[in-house]
Chains A and B, each alone.
Chain A
Amino acid sequence: MADRTPRFCWNNLVQAAATILTASASQAAFPVSRLKDQMRSKIWRAPIGWNVKAAINDKLDYSEGGSAKAATLAVGNYATGALFAAQVTTAMNAVAVSNTYLCSYDAGTGKFTIARASGAATISLLFGTGANLAASVAKDLGFIVADKTGATSYLADAASYHSREWIVVDLGSAQSVAVGIVINHNAMAGGTFRLQGNATNVWSAPSVDQTLAGGATMRIAFFTPGVYRYWRLLIEDTLNTDGFSEVGILFVGDYLQPDRSFAQGYKEQREQLSVMAQADQGASYLDKRPDRYAFRGQLARVSRATRDLLNAMSAAMPPGKNWFLAQDPQNFPSTETYYVSLTAPLDLIQSVGDGPTADRYETDVSVLEALG
């Protein structure tokens, strides 16, 4: 088993004052600015349907009779598959020469079909080799990144219920990022979150492209630190029948790793918030409420450098300010990382010193999971 030293992911650059957030699209009641808030239920949510953005997903490469064409979709929101299919049809026919095309959407299967409606010229969908792959709409239509040739009608490889979405985090200046975390999301198991980093706000070949692993509760990845100004969370979850993507907390930042793990004897429990009442003869009634992760342990023999980092964290993260505690980031990053806050400020005490041995410090660490 790999090292199981915990990591404290506390400085969320997403919530820094200088950080500017932009999203592919947002519902008015759930703007992307909500990700500046530490409340996990305060979500960003994309509009229902397919959201087309220029230079992101507004191009459809195809060839007609061997001649490459690039259809350009009108930017905007298409709430239904039928409306989106109609827009694809319009865009393709706008650049067609001799054929006409029809894109249709089967709500039963959730799949788009792109077909030649009239004309005799051959048609290929250049989803693997087209000139505009960086802005291709292929994935939003449920097609994989590969050309489709040899037919006059192409059925998408997978269902699609909405478009890919993204959130760009402009840190204002290049900063080190080594961890990305997403919680309170609605992605299905097959949906992916990728955290990308780049020096510029251009995403055709980002310098960092890290998939966040995990499940319905959390997606997380620790990776080699990258120092970039722009970071992007790319959400590819077009199979999600909700018809939109949403995120409650997006963590982008670094982490603090103490010199060693918690001292032996640390305590983890699920604190019960439920309220029970009893009848005369013992029957119980339960007002169920969520339970929450509670942890009490001690960091012992930490170095002066770590002490300073912990003090900085304690000052910035008083009780009530939320951060991520990765208990075992190497082995169980997505299942043993918790969104917590300190129950009391860290109290670093010198435990070893007053001699040739370098000073060492210890502190109790007590946290409660942040709910809501």
Chain B
Amino acid sequence: MMATHGALGLAAGLPTLLDLVGQSASEKRVLVELRPGRVVEGWSAYSGATYVAALQETFDGVNLDVVAVQTLLDSGLTRAEDLVSCVAAAGTFFYDPDITTGPARWDDGVTHWDDGVTTWDQFPFLYVHLFNDANPAITTVVAFFLLTFGTVGSVQPNLGADKLTNGGFESWASSTDANNWTETPGAAITVNQETTIVYRGTSVLRFTATAAANGDSATERQDATTVSGMLYRLSFAYQTDPGNPQGLDLRVRVHNQADGTANLQADGRSFAASPVSLPLPPTGGEWKRAVFDFRAQWTTTRLIFSLENNTGSAATGRAYVDDVSIRRVWRYNYYEPRVSAAPGSESGANDVFFGGDRIGQGAIRLIDADALLEPLLADLDILYKEGRTYSGGAIEDGSEVPFEESRRGFTGLVQDLGTSNKEATLDLQDLRAFFHRDLPERVNNDADSPGLDPNIRGKSRPLLFGQKANITPYRISKAGDYGVYEIADCLKSPAGIKAIDAVYSYADSDAAGLLDTTRRLTLSAGTDYSADLANGQFTVLRDVQLIEITTEETRLDFNDGSVRAAILTPGFYVPASLAAHVQTQMRAVGAGDLNCTHADGTHKITISKGAGSLSLLIKSGTNAAISAWKKLGFDPSADKSGSLSYVADSVIFTDADKQHLLRIDAQGYKDDAAGTYTGSANALVVLGPDLIRLLTVRWLGKALSALDATTFASARTVCPEPMAFLLKDPTSTKAIFDTIALTNLAKITIDGTGTIFYDPLVDALPASAPALIDNDWLADTFEMGLAVTDLYTTVIVTYDEDPTLGTKPTRTLTDESVALRYGRAETRTFNTYLKNLGDAITLTSRLLALAKTPGRTINGSVKIRLLDARTGQKARVTKRRGLDATGALTAVAFRILSQANSYRDGVSAVSLVEDRAIGR
């Protein structure tokens, strides 16, 4: 029994996955996990905002563990390690499948466990504490169970979230100060960042002893929160230099944080009062894994790595540590050997350069001759639930790759389930299928917005990204006559929209359609409208229809003791401003106590005077032919006299939907105060990688951790061009992602773990690019060719689409030589989300650089070297024969077009295309 399968204690010198796939003879095993779900009902209050429901699903007599909980309100709850933590923190759940006692439950309406056999009180309980302390009874709560299978029967841990921060040593405050860790150098042993000898990522921890005296030591430590009495797994990779003298030991120590008086011993469950530093066997310059399964007996566990000189004399040497994690072992699961087929990972482009990525597909086949699976799969929700495969195994000497080192080769969503007398077959599509959702999701409806204009009822509520002009807002409420307009649906935005730059009122639809700036007015914030940026809306505060005073209707005849004629200035006015203008002009020729007002309550104009007399010479005035009185709502058939105040005969305003022709310039969704999506607090989200982050997390409900922080952060610098688009009709998120990727000339890829990467094409060939030589290609698989696919004479780039008119400015670039040389006189148009012309010019140039010459392609199967590569990344190919003027390939840069990895075999079936410089 290895320590990694349920026995506690330290197991070191274990092989890595590359040890496994790199050996010419090794035993590869595949593990499969399914995560079917079930709606949980029968909630009752437990404590505060924490609710409890009985929940049990058994397979082969064992309660299944619940590994995730989602609700309609939240993308996912975090698993609390104990009930106390669940009660204390919103957004958590707690479930212990092995605890079958809890609040008495009899009449809770849960019928699925009332099977007439199982006694009522033998059920584990699911506790949830939803975000905003919501009651789970008002939403839908789905619990996801864990089902485990393998190609061979084995016992593996079900691991929780990592308790450490920066366990990969990727983040350093300085070269001697790893963030979240505490360094204590020795007299002659240093603690440093190492960036050359790395295991994962770009840097690791390095201890360096230089003629260190006997007894000298250096340490690196971090504390982790744990639950007393629970099992945890410390896992890490380490390497010691081959020249290290015996006795210069890399060691690991785990103890209680409080005072170090309870030191875990090698068995993982006993303690000593004095320090116990467990030596790790030397690795001779290779990376090895170590696992320490232990039972915590404290709430804070301190982990210490150290390099200690116990040689008896001065010693020089180095040791490295990387990929450290401490995870709760929720239980050790049995992986039943039912797997008869499992997919590898697959990713690829539809075209050579310009297509989106294909969706990887695969099938998991589970032996079910004993009919044990059918009732379970029928009882649970399996469609569109996750299935995962892991590849691991044992090397020649029998030592096994630890579970957490196993490669997640495929993460997919179940599309179809089929069963037969022998097997259950689950067809999966990889997580790119997750992108096949349409946005916007919400539509205008009467339930949310009573009294909607029937013309917009049922239409999508738009989503706004970046800065757009000429947006047509939708009036979603008639409150206050003029109503509330929506620019963008902010339900899932982090913090609403950034700004409303301008609100225009157009004179008529022709003016709006022509963007006629002479026939519109810019409305005033606070006077004409009030903005509600958090909800992407604004409220029109007064009548903002445009009233045009033409040269044929400028006169106002009246008598305020003398006959007078006020002259209005031709132009456009909103009613209130027109009233003000009328008053000004009347006073200019008449008494100073003349007033003209517009009432939003009655929608009528009133002309009045403080004292004396006032008549409106509407009919009898000398300028009746060019009178403006009618425009103000006064009946032109008669004068008004005998009073000091006259209310117009007719209303000016009748219907906002007909009379208010509004267009908006606005800035779309902004980041939250923490700068979660852009790195800057409250910033407008405009860059490609940031838009992907925002969409993935907020609209697709994936965790931020699903996005690779390094490539997304780096892409901000490489792709600084702002984007802008308004989604007002249902659009596939895959199409959105593909357009963003094309706009940035980037690849968005998902690896087997479901992690999303953002890799812009760049000219630089990184030193770390895999170098492929003859021996890396499996026999008879290497094929090289030349294709005219994606060869164009002219490329056209569209940008900054008008969200109302749908017009798209374009930028065109042509290279006539393409038609002459390759007989391809074709044109291709690329629709982008670019905002600016300058960026469109740049992109056009880059696209033509890719499109004007045919690329050499390679298809073949590569052993090991490309397992960690992604589509879009580069590799150097050296081959003694090849399609080249020299007859051979010498470090020629190719880009990975598609690949299908079999981690089990250590083989990548790839398509490569010759790299092209694009000037970036």
Contacts and interface: CB of A to CB of B under 8 A. Distances in A.
A105 interface: yes
A29 B231 CA distance: 15
B7 A244 contact: yes
Max chain B Cβ within 10 angstroms of own Cβ: one of A33, A242, A290, A371? A242
Interface in B1-28: 1, 6-9, 24-28
B1 A242 contact: yes
Interface in A107-128: 107-108
Given A241-B7, A280-B780, A372-B153, A33 B61 contact: yes
A264 interface: no
Interface string A147-188: 000000000000001000000000000000000000000100
Contacts of A289: 27
A286 B270 CA distance: 42
Nearest to A371: B152
Contact of B779 (A43, A108, A280, A371): A280
Interface stretch (B332-340, B411-419, B624-632): B332-340
A42 B97 contact: no
Interface string B885-899: 000000000000000
B272 interface: yes
Interface of B: 1, 6-9, 24-28, 60-63, 97-98, 152-155, 229, 265, 267, 269-272, 295, 297, 331-334, 336-337, 369, 396, 775, 778-780, 863, 904-905
A173 B375 CA distance: 33
A242 B337 contact: no
B779 A45 contact: no
Given A80-B269, A288-B26, A34 B333 contact: no
A82 interface: yes
Given A31-B62, A242-B1, A243-B267, A42 B9 contact: no
A27 B331 CA distance: 9
A283 B24 contact: yes
Contact of A80 (B24, B153, B295): B295
Interface of A: 27-31, 33-34, 37, 39-43, 45, 48-49, 79-82, 105, 107-108, 161, 186, 241-244, 246, 277-280, 283-290, 320, 371-372
A48 B269 contact: yes
Contact of A372 (B62, B152, B265, B272): B152
B331 A39 contact: no
B24 A284 contact: yes
Nearest to B97: A28
Contacts of B337: 39, 41, 372
| Top-3 shortest CB links A-B | A41-B153, A107-B270, A28-B98
Given A81-B269, A243-B7, 20 more contacts: A29-B98, A29-B333, A30-B332, A34-B60, A37-B60, A39-B336, A40-B153, A45-B6, A48-B6, A79-B229, A80-B270, A82-B271, A108-B272, A242-B1, A244-B7, A279-B775, A285-B24, A286-B25, A287-B905, A290-B152
B332 A29 contact: yes
A107 B153 contact: no
Contacts of A28: 62-63, 97-98, 331
Contacts of B7: 48, 241-244
A29 B61 contact: no
B698 to A, nearest CB: 37
A141 to B, nearest CB: 15
B334 A30 contact: yes
B24 A243 contact: no
B488 to A, nearest CB: 49
A48 B27 contact: no
A278 B779 contact: yes
Contacts of A371: 152
Contacts of A107: 265, 267, 270-272
20 contacts: A28-B62, A29-B334, A31-B62, A41-B334, A41-B337, A42-B153, A42-B334, A43-B155, A48-B6, A48-B8, A80-B269, A107-B265, A107-B271, A107-B272, A161-B267, A242-B7, A243-B7, A244-B6, A280-B780, A288-B27
Contacts of B334: 29-30, 41-43
A278 B229 CA distance: 51
A107 B265 CA distance: 7
Given A29-B332, A288-B25, A241 B9 contact: yes
Nearest to A37: B60
A279 B272 contact: no
Nearest to B231: A48
A85 to B, nearest CB: 10
Contacts of B333: 29
Contacts of A280: 779-780
B62 A29 contact: yes
Contacts of B779: 278-280
A80 B6 CA distance: 15
A81 B297 CA distance: 13
A110 B913 CA distance: 62
A31 B331 CA distance: 13
Nearest to A38: B370
B61 A42 contact: no
Given A31-B62, A107-B271, A79 B295 contact: yes
Given A28-B62, A243-B7, A41 B267 contact: no
B12 to A, nearest CB: 15
Given A49-B269, A80-B269, A278-B779, A39 B153 contact: yes
B389 to A, nearest CB: 16
A107 B155 CA distance: 26
A261 B60 CA distance: 39
B155 A186 contact: no
Given A79-B269, A105-B270, A42 B6 contact: no
Contacts of B61: 31, 33-34
A31 B60 CA distance: 10
Nearest to B264: A107
B305 to A, nearest CB: 22
A16 B63 CA distance: 23
B267 A27 contact: no
Contacts of A105: 270
B154 A41 contact: yes
Nearest to B61: A33
A78 to B, nearest CB: 10
A284 B7 CA distance: 36
B10 to A, nearest CB: 11
A107 B396 CA distance: 33
B368 to A, nearest CB: 13
Contacts of B9: 241
B852 to A, nearest CB: 37
Nearest to B266: A107
Contacts of B904: 287
A296 B507 CA distance: 97
A275 B493 CA distance: 53
Nearest to B297: A80
Contacts of B97: 28
Max chain A Cβ within 10 angstroms of own Cβ: one of B6, B98, B333, B775? B6
A285 B22 CA distance: 10
A49 B268 CA distance: 12
A180 to B, nearest CB: 22
A371 B9 CA distance: 28
Nearest to B152: A372
Contact of B332 (A27, A39, A108, A279): A27
Contacts of B26: 286-288
B62 A287 contact: no
A267 B149 CA distance: 34
Contacts of B98: 28-29
B270 A81 contact: yes
A244 B152 CA distance: 22
Nearest to A242: B7
A27 B7 CA distance: 12
A40 B154 CA distance: 10
B827 to A, nearest CB: 45
A186 B780 contact: no
A287 B336 contact: no
